[in-house]
């Protein structure tokens, strides 16, 4: 169930260039699943006005803590980056349908492909897949070395490979270049990142089941305002889906790329 809560900041730090890791404590953590997001109001005033959708990177139900990782680039996220330990943050969530952790056979292998600020939700997913005994392979693309993060965290969960556009870390190029080289064996892929990456991935693995997490500018975040609509492919019954309430994760082939 979606709830609105004033959560407490328990940690915040800059883990890469303009990339922040923020941990919040509150009741709504108990309802959270990998791939869902929270809709954060960064200020109690009406400036900036709208909430910011930010994906869930790490869930700790025992401690009642959730961690999100975001890039401070615009007005909203820059304000969020100034929050101190003990501050309250107005959070609506958890929102949306996340990654299906049980869409993969027991003892199977999952390929997790992330791009830039699309990497964070794959962390909680990887944790939960590993807890089920699934092997995970991580392939992440970034613009450059100084915006990469969580190498150690992912490495303890499975094989982890980086690719950067400028070659400053790992292979030079895009995730598909690296996949071409690695030729990983797997059962299901999960992905989150920019549209061109999702599109390339769908074409790259036409015969594998996969789940893609989408991003779109949002208004209400709960499905009422019709801001974050994506057109569906011809095979679908409905003409459109709402990223916020029908997604943000869809099985591959649902959304027109």
Partner 1 sequence: MSKLSIQLPGLDLKNPIMPASGCFGFGREYAQLYDLSKLGAIMIKATTVEKRLGNPTPRVAETPAGMLNAIGLQNPGLDKVMSEELPWLERFDVPIIANVAGTLTEDYVEVARRISTAPNVKALELNISCPNVKHGGITFGTDPVIARELVEAVKAVSKVPVYVKLSPNVTNIVEIAQAVEIGGADGITMINTLVGMRLDERTGKPVIANGTGGLSGPAVKPVAIRMVYEVYKAVEIPIIGMGGVTNTQDVIDFMSAGASAVAVGTANFVDHFVCSNIIDELPAKLKELGVTHIKEIIGRSHR
- Binding residues vs ligand FMN (CB under 6 A): 219, 225
Among residues 219, 233, 251, 256, which is the contact residue for partner 1, using CB under 8 A?
219
Residues 126/137, Cβ–Cβ less than 8 Å: no
Name which of 43 and 130 has its Cβ closer to partner 1.
Answer: 43
Name which of 75 and 208 has its Cβ closer to partner 1.
Answer: 75
Q: Is 223 in the site for partner 1 (CB under 8 A)?
A: yes
Q: Is 69 annotated as a binding residue?
A: yes
Alpha-carbon distance of 226 to 155, in angstroms, equals 39
DSSP-derived 3-state class of residue 117: helix
Alpha-carbon distance of 194 to 113, in angstroms, equals 11
Q: Is 85 in the site for partner 1 (CB under 8 A)?
A: no
Indicate which of ligand FMN, partner 1, none lies near residue 217 (CB less than 5 to 8 Å, by partner kind): partner 1
Q: What distance, in Å, lies between the first and last C-alpha atoms of the chain?
A: 30
Q: Is 54 annotated as a binding residue?
A: yes
Name which of 105 and 219 has its Cβ closer to ligand FMN.
Answer: 219
Q: Tell me the pairing of strands 65-71 and 37-41.
A: unpaired
Please list, in sequence order, all residues whose beta carbon lies within 8 angstroms of the beta carbon of residue 111, skipping any fewer than 6 positions away: 136, 137, 139, 184, 186, 188, 189, 190
Q: Is 230 annotated as a binding residue?
A: no
Burial of 44 (0-12, 13-18, 19+ CB in 10 A): exposed
Alpha helices by DSSP H, 22-166: 75-80, 121-131, 151-155
Q: Is 225 annotated as a binding residue?
A: yes
Q: Is 45 annotated as a binding residue?
A: no
Residue 28 DSSP symbol: G
CB-based closest residue to ligand FMN: 225
Q: Minimum distance between the CB of residue 227 and partner 1, rounded to whole angstroms?
A: 4
Build a one-symbol-per-residue string for 34-53: x at contacts with partner 1 by CB under 8 A, - elsewhere. Answer: -------x----xxxxxx--
Name which of 195 and 220 has its Cβ closer to ligand FMN.
Answer: 220
Q: Minimum distance between the CB of residue 69 and partner 1, rounded to whole angstroms?
A: 22
The span of 173-181, 189-197, 229-237, 248-256 binding partner 1 (CB under 8 A) equals 229-237
Alpha helices by DSSP H, the chain: 75-80, 121-131, 151-155, 175-182, 195-204
Build a one-symbol-per-residue string for 166-195: x at contacts with partner 1 by CB under 8 A, - elsewhere. Answer: ------------------------------
Name which of 90 and 177 has its Cβ closer to partner 1.
Answer: 90
Go through 158-193 and write b for each residue having 16 or more CB atoms within 10 A of its CB, e for each that does not.
bebbbbbeeeebbbebbbbebbeeeeeebbbbbbbb
Q: Minimum distance between the CB of residue 84 and partner 1, rounded to whole angstroms?
A: 23
Judged by the rule CB under 8 A, the positions of this chain that interact with partner 1 are 1-2, 4, 41, 46-51, 75, 92, 216-231, 239-240, 245
């Amino acid at each position: 169930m979606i709830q609105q809560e004033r959560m407490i900041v328990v940690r915040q730090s800059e883990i890469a260039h303009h990339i922040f890791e923020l941990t919040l404590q509150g009741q709504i953590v108990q309802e959270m699943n990998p791939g869902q997001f929270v809709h954060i109001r960064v200020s109690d005033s009406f400036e900036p006005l709208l909430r910011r959708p930010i994906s869930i990177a790490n869930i700790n139900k025992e401690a009642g803590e959730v961690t999100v990782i975001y890039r401070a680039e615009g007005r909203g996220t820059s304000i969020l980056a100034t929050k101190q330990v003990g501050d309250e943050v107005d959070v609506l969530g958890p929102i949306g349908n996340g990654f299906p952790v049980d869409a993969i056979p027991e003892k199977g292998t999952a390929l997790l492909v992330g791009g830039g600020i699309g990497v964070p939700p794959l962390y909680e997913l990887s944790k939960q897949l590993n807890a089920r005994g699934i092997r995970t392979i991580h392939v992440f693309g970034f613009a450059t070395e100084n915006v990469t993060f969580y190498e150690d965290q992912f490495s303890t969960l499975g094989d982890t490979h980086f690719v950067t556009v400028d070659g400053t870390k790992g292979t030079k190029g895009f995730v598909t270049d690296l996949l071409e080289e690695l030729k990983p064996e797997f059962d299901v892929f999960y992905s989150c990142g920019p549209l061109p990456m999702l599109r390339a991935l769908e074409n790259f693995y036409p015969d594998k089941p996969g789940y893609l997490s989408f991003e779109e500018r949002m208004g209400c975040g709960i499905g009422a305002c019709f801001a974050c609509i994506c057109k569906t492919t011809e095979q679908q019954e409905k003409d459109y889906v709402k990223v916020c309430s029908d997604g943000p994760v869809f099985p591959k082939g649902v959304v027109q790329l």
